[in-house]
Structures are given as structure tokens and as C-alpha cells.
Chains A and B, each alone.
Chain A
Amino acid sequence: MASGEETLVHEILSGDVNSYALLVKRYQKPIYNLMLRMTGSEQDAVDLTQEAFVKAYEKLEKFNPSAPFFPWLYTMGLNLARDFLRRARRSPIDSYESENSFSVEIDQDDRLADQIDGQDVMEGLQALPVEYREALLLRFHEGLSVSEVAGALGLSLSAAKMRIHRGLLKLRQLLEKQ
């Protein structure tokens, strides 16, 4: 668990809303970007991010404070986004491009050497099925352990390992086609 989170959760449950502001500030960026990837709409992403944090606060009594907070929050966020898309009868978007969309810092020398650039990876990720895309982002961008990825996505440890490895292979396959 990130430093001090167990104490923060204890303080929140004891009535200190201030401490929850720290958790919101710490995790609003990945949750907001999850919602952006799922909906493709900045306004929907803001609304769903708020909803995810409010819901997590309301259910905080059920959270095991010795476990990491982010995977638990992320599961809630992902479920909310799926419910939202189901209600709107929409599929997760295939691609999302805007000035505020994510971008990649590209090391020019490495790009020339490997012929895979950041833009390709971004596009490839958006073209992947959600379950692979999110597994890859949780593992490599958020830096979660495989067991935390498994917890966040409701998978067994071996299934999470497989999901990450297959996701990488699928992404590579997509990049080869590009």
C-alpha cells in the first residue's frame, strides 16, 4: 500500500474528510484517464471520475485497509464505466483523440533503433480489447504488481500473468501491421 494510506483510511473512517482529499488528489489522474479511454468524452469522464470517488468513499467501510487502495478504487471505476456504457448502449470506444488525450514521450534515438514509436503504441492500445489494454496499463504504466492487477481485474494470478503476456503479444502484432 502506498505510504500512509492505511492511516489515511483510518482517519477518513473516523470522520476526517480532509484525508480523503489526499486520496482523491493522488488517484484522480489514472481514474480520469480510465474514464477517458472508456467513454472518449471529457465531460463523461469528469462525471464518472467524481462518481467513482464518491462511491468508493461511501463503501470505504467494506475496504480492507491493509490492502492497496488503488486496485480497489480502479475495480469500482471500471465497473462504473461499464455500467455507464451499458446504460448508454455504447461499446467502449476504439479510439479517442484530442489535444488532452494521452501522449507519449519519445526517445528519438530509441525510436530509430527499434522502429516502434510512442504514437504507434498509443494507437495500438486503443485498438486492443479493454481487458488487455487495462491489464497492460495497470502493470506497466501504474506499476502494479501482477497480483494487484489480478485483484483489480478480478482474475486469478495465473490468468493475470497470461492476460498481460497475451496483451503484449497482441499489441506487438498490431504494431507489426501498422
Chain B
Amino acid sequence: MKKTPVNIERDLSRISRLIADIRYAEPPESLTEKVLANLKPKKLALWERLWRRLRTPVSVTPLKLLPAGVSVLAVFALALTLFWPSPGERIVTERINEVTNQGLNTVMLFLDRPDATDVEVIGSFNNWSQEGVRMVWDKDRGLWVGVLQLKRGSYEYAFRVNQKEIVADPKAILLRDDGFGHQNSILIIGNGNGNETRI
């Protein structure tokens, strides 16, 4: 059939649709993890942070002010807790500082399972030992809280709920199949300054 301008345009349109339908190859699952392992958290000067904050557009509506108000109250409440801690909390803080001085990073993990009676963190940090790190129910936050002290590196972990149920961290961005029907979360510890990356 002879190609008229109309036919050519039709071909070009068809070709562009076929290009849109191309299915790309999947990158390896570990790619994000490998990229993140090479990054150090950025440290901007105070004036740079303020300047960037000022340049970031903020839209304010009455509805948006509500969570902001709640956040301010939450920060205020947190400050109160920090400045007037109970004796028990003071001991925990000292212990964290002591370990941090030995070059370890303190990592806090949270799990929202108010129905659970017992939660532990298990993972590659102790070779998946049956003895997990016990998490504590924080009734103020309404969350289970676990504290780990880890060296720099990449770790897999999961939560063990009520001694039997294995659950991945719902806040982790990257998960890896463990080959046994569960998924593990990935945790990357940065350059020893306490900045953890949970992906």
C-alpha cells in the first residue's frame, strides 16, 4: 500500500505506543541496598539548612495546621519526658552513651502490635540466635520498642511476635525472601555516627 502522510502519521503514532509498552528488565533486588551502603549521611551547615528550609514552598491550610499543632504538642511532651525522666530512664540513657563510646551505633526499632503480649527482634546481628532482643511495650507511644547496638554493616532482621509469629518490619522499604516463606527486613548502619538506614 502506498504511504500517504496520513499513513505515516498513523505509523508514527503506532510506533510511539509500542515504545511506551516496552517492558524493562528488572534490576537485581540488592541494588538499592548496595547503593545505600556506599552513602554517608549529609551534614549541611546550619545556615545552608535554614536557607533550604526557607526555599522549600509550604502551603498552609486550616486542615494542615491541625497535625502541625498536634506535632508541636508531641514535641513539647517529648521534651518534658527528656528533661524530667524517671530514674529508670536515666540508667538506660547512660548505658546507650557508654556503648556508643565503644564505636557501636544505637538503633531503635518500633512495631505497632498492641495485640501482642511478647515481641523480640531476631536477625543476622546475632546469627539468628533463638535468643532475640526483647522489645518493650511503650504505653505512651502505643508501640513495641527495641534497642540494638550494632557495628557498621548490613543486617537482616524480623520481629518474633508471641514466640511464634515472624513478621517483617512494616516500615522497612526493602525486604528479602528468607527462602522459608517469610521476609526479612534490611537494616544498614552507616559510618558509626549513629545514623541508621532501614531499607
Contact = CB atoms under 8 A, between A and B. Distances in A.
Interface in B1-23: 8, 10-12, 14-23
A14 B21 contact: no
B174 A21 contact: yes
Interface in A52-68: 53-54, 57, 60-61, 65
Contact of B27 (A28, A54, A106, A118): A28
A140 B20 CA distance: 5
Interface residues of B, number: 45
A29 to B, nearest CB: 5
A17 to B, nearest CB: 5
B32 A17 contact: no
A135 to B, nearest CB: 11
B181 interface: no
A142 to B, nearest CB: 9
Contacts of A100: 25-26
B34 interface: yes
**A contact face: mostly helix, strand, loop, or mixed:** helix
Contacts of B174: 21, 25
Interface residues of A, number: 56
Interface of A: 6-7, 10, 12-18, 20-22, 24-25, 28-30, 32-33, 36, 46, 49-50, 53-54, 57, 60-61, 65, 100-106, 110, 114, 116-118, 121-122, 125, 136-137, 139-141, 143, 168-169, 171-172, 175
Given A12-B42, A28-B27, 7 more contacts: A17-B40, A21-B36, A29-B24, A33-B25, A102-B25, A104-B21, A168-B16
